[in-house]
Amino acid sequence: MNAVRNPRYLRRRFWNIFHLSMAMITTLFGLFWLVWILWTTISYGATALNLELFTGDTPAPGSIGGLRNAFVGSLLMIGMAVILGTPVGILAGTFLAEFAQGSRLAAAIRFFNDILLSAPSIVIGLFIYAVVVVPMGSFSGFAGALSLAILLLPVILRTTDEMLGMVPSTMREAALALGAPHWKMIVQVNYRAARSGILTGVLLAVARISGETAPLLFTALSNQFFSTNLDKPIANVPVVIFHFAMSPYPEWQHLAWAGALIAAMAVLALSLVSRFLIKDRSPR
Amino acid sequence: MREAALPSPALPSRISPARSRRLHAMDWGFRWLTGGLAILVLFLLVGVALSLFLRGWEAFHHFGFAFFWSDAWDPVTENFGALVPIYGTLVSSLIAMLIAVPISFGIALFISELAPEWLRQPVGSAIELLAGIPSIIFGMWGLFVFAPVLSSAEPWLNDHLGVLPGIGVLFRGPPMGIGMLTAGIILAIMVIPFISAIMRDVFLVVPAMLKESAYGLGATTWEVTRHVVLPYTRTAVVGGVFLGLGRALGETMAVTFVIGNAHDLHLSLLDAGNSIAATLANEFAEAFSPMYKSALMALGFILFIITLVVLVLAKLMLWRLGQGQGKTGL
């Protein structure tokens, strides 16, 4: 009775309720933006969706068309980036988890890998411009793929490192005890045990690069026409969205929204699938 | 040495010496292949810095240190200075942090301490989804949807905050809806998921025993957060904030759409400005003279160094939590 009326107690209770309500309000605030942005993308994008989007190429101002060349270009570059970046990331991650655990070199590489992971993507684009585009003398899909591969690499390296680290050492010892050489143990036992984890990393990395625009501005540029030639500038969804959204033509802006919706859906689907994979793995 | 312990005389090895040598060579090769690729990461980072610096050298050399504090940006007379983009990058990121840090803290607190078990996962995932949306969509949303809303609110800012002494100048300006403030707000929305995810993870590291001792003494949830959780995780929380800052500094597409792309220095947050990343995205394709290109590369180098410093600080601070945890050993 006395305690409830105690002003000190009331004050503590008040601040507790105040702060906890603020926490609740900020969470709603954060979700509010998510809903607003998703809603905008869906409502603007859905009205622009049609079959022409996948069959027509990017149109001249004032005429109608689709984004076929941009979709093909993006898929080509993302595929190329995965082919280039995934093996490098997995093997480098293997070194950290299997050969150099606890060493100072591994700590340094992990540290700088994390820096590379968070480095602005536009800077990576400039780097590829300086070392690939300038010597080659032209913007190219290959340069675009390379810049995406560099963005992909640290994500895969990190997940591989972490996932291999979770493989129980008894499995390693069992393989070695049977006389397997070290590399065989890694390839046939550890990779298999960590497979779904590494796959998750690859999916997350692909989700990350699918929406990347900035590095492609300096590397792949864009192309008005359908092309599968990676030696030349190639159309791709993000850069086309950027140009079309900034343009004064309503047809182009509609296409930009349609492209944005599809890009967002692809990225969200990828991250949902990878989330599902994580959950699917038995805990611990 | 281990071989000596095996009962080898009784079990003659079926692996010939040649095969054994080959297996050894493959082991050695695999080790060096993976090691070489891992070291590639170090070279990549050095390569990025070096190549940008070399390409920007012409501008650095020509303008000297004045490049850093000159507000000129004239492609025609080839007179370039980095002050306006650097200022815009720092100010828009600062606005973003002022908004994002308290909100992220609230979200992390809600998810880690407050929400019932069944709500934690969905709310956490939803916030993380926000992080997955491509940044160009934030930019389009900002330009087409958010800027008009903000421009109708800006006369109010002019009338009410603009009349304040001192900080009033920040809120006096044309109500266009695009400019530094818009860029800052959109950056804030973009980094909230990152910062809140790190804060949540960090809060979950606090040993339950510490918290329960405080609860046992009769502390309220807020008091436990304020006096137990925060002191325990302080450096890591700051590290998470820095990680978010690193993202905000280098964010390109979202900012390019809404910052206004004007190479003028204004104190007002409602005026159009420019950031390093936005300048690069907008002007790179049109920069044909070598000096123009070099000046843009120099800007890229400056951006890389700024984010590098911020990210290294962030990593070091996050790392210390891991260390401290080992030492207290609770």
Q: In which band, very low, low, confident or very high, does the pLDDT at B89 lie, cut at 50, 70 and 90? A: very high
Secondary structure of chain A in HEC code, one letter for each residue: CHHHHCHHHHHHHHHHHHHHHHHHHHHHHHHHHHHHHHHHHHHHHHHHCCCHHHHCCCCCCCCCCCCHHHHHHHHHHHHHHHHHHHHHHHHHHHHHHHHCCCCHHHHHHHHHHHHHHHCCHHHHHHHHHHHHHHHHCCCCHHHHHHHHHHHHHHHHHHHHHHHHHCCCHHHHHHHHHCCCCHHHHHHHHHHHHCHHHHHHHHHHHHHHHHCCCHHHHHHCCCCCCCCCCCCCCCCCHHHHHHHHHHCCCHHHHHHHHHHHHHHHHHHHHHHHHHHHHHHHCCCC
pLDDT of B14 strictly over 80: no
Instruction: Say if the Cβ atoms of B311 and A29 lie within 8 Å.
Output: no
For position B186, what pLDDT does the model report?
94
Asked if B195 and B241 count as a contact pair (C-beta separation under 8 A), the reply is yes
Q: In which band, very low, low, confident or very high, does the pLDDT at B22 lie, cut at 50, 70 and 90? A: confident
Q: Which residues of A fall within a CB distance of 8 Å from B221?
A: 16, 20
Q: In which band, very low, low, confident or very high, does the pLDDT at B156 lie, cut at 50, 70 and 90? A: confident
Q: Which residues of A fall within a CB distance of 8 Å from B144?
A: 40, 44, 245
pLDDT of B262 strictly over 50: yes
Q: What is the pLDDT of residues A128-145, one digit of tens each?
A: 999 999 898 888 999 999
Residue B302: name the closest of B152, B72, B43, B87 by CA: B87
Average model confidence (pLDDT) for chain B?
A: 86
Residue A190: name the closest of A177, A172, A170 by CA: A172
Q: Which residues of B fall within a CB distance of 8 Å from A33?
A: 130, 189, 192
Residue A88 neighbours by CB under 8 Å, 6+ apart: A149, A153, A157, B37, B40
User: How near does any CA of chain B get to the CA of A133, in Å?
Assistant: 13
Fold of A54-277: MetI-like fold (1.10.3720)
Residue range B103-126: mean pLDDT, rounded = 89
Residue range A260-283: mean pLDDT, rounded = 80
Higher-scoring residue by pLDDT: B125, B190: B190
Q: Which residues of A fall within a CB distance of 8 Å from B300?
A: 122-123, 126
What residue type is B50 in one-letter code?
A: L
Extract the tokens encoding B99. Answer: 């908004």
Instruction: Say if the Cβ atoms of B107 and A268 lie within 8 Å.
Output: no
Chain B touched by A221 (CB under 8 Å): yes
Instruction: Say if the Cβ atoms of B31 and A182 lie within 8 Å.
Output: yes
Residue A37: name the closest of B51, B99, B138 by CA: B138
Q: Which of residues 197-236 of B touch A (CB under 8 A)?
A: 220-223, 225
Percent of chain B with pLDDT over 90: 44
User: How near does any CA of chain A get to the CA of B43, in Å?
Assistant: 10
Percent of chain A with pLDDT over 70: 96
Instruction: Say if the Cβ atoms of A122 and B225 lie within 8 Å.
Output: no
Domain boundaries, chain A: 7-47, 54-277
pLDDT of B198 strictly over 50: yes
Phi, psi of A5, deg, nearest 5: -85, -15
For position A279, what pLDDT does the model report?
67
- Distance (Å, rounded) from C-alpha B177 to C-alpha B272? 9
Specify the DSSP class assigned to residue B78.
T
User: How near does any CA of chain A get to the CA of B7, in Å?
Assistant: 14
- Distance (Å, rounded) from C-alpha A165 to C-alpha A101? 9
Chain A touched by B315 (CB under 8 Å): yes
pLDDT of B223 strictly over 50: yes
For residue B74, the cross-strand partners are: B79
For position A280, what pLDDT does the model report?
61
Higher-scoring residue by pLDDT: B155, A255: A255
Q: Minimum mean pLDDT among A122-136, B190-204, B254-268: which range? A: B254-268
A263 → chain B, closest CA residue: B134
Q: What is the pLDDT of residues A171-199, one digit of tens each?
A: 999 999 998 888 889 999 999 999 988 99
Residue A5 neighbours by CB under 8 Å, 6+ apart: none
pLDDT of B245 strictly over 90: yes
Q: Which of residues 92-151 of A touch B (CB under 8 A)?
A: 92-96, 98-100, 106, 108-109, 111-116, 118-124, 126-127, 130-131, 150
Instruction: Say if the Cβ atoms of B140 and A181 lie within 8 Å.
Output: no
Chain A touched by B283 (CB under 8 Å): no
Q: What is the pLDDT of residues A201-237, one digit of tens each?
A: 999 899 989 989 899 988 888 888 888 888 888 999 9
Higher-scoring residue by pLDDT: A40, B322: A40
Q: In which band, very low, low, confident or very high, does the pLDDT at A283 lie, cut at 50, 70 and 90? A: very low
- Distance (Å, rounded) from C-alpha B80 to C-alpha B59? 8
B39, B43, B137, best to mutate vs chain A, most A CBs in 10 Å: B137
Chain B touched by A220 (CB under 8 Å): no
Residue range B124-152: mean pLDDT, rounded = 89
B129 → chain A, closest CA residue: A268
DSSP H or E run through B80: strand B79-80
Q: Which of residues 253-272 of B touch A (CB under 8 A)?
A: 253, 256-257
For residue B139, the cross-strand partners are: none
Chain B touched by A79 (CB under 8 Å): no
Instruction: Say if the Cβ atoms of A268 and B136 lie within 8 Å.
Output: no
- Say what the ipTM of the complex is: 0.89
For position B323, what pLDDT does the model report?
59
The size of the A-B interface in CB pairs under 8 A is 259
Average model confidence (pLDDT) for chain A?
A: 89
pLDDT of B2 strictly over 50: no
Q: What is the pLDDT of residues A49-102, one digit of tens each?
A: 888 888 888 888 878 888 888 999 999 999 999 999 999 999 999 999 999 888
Chain B touched by A19 (CB under 8 Å): yes
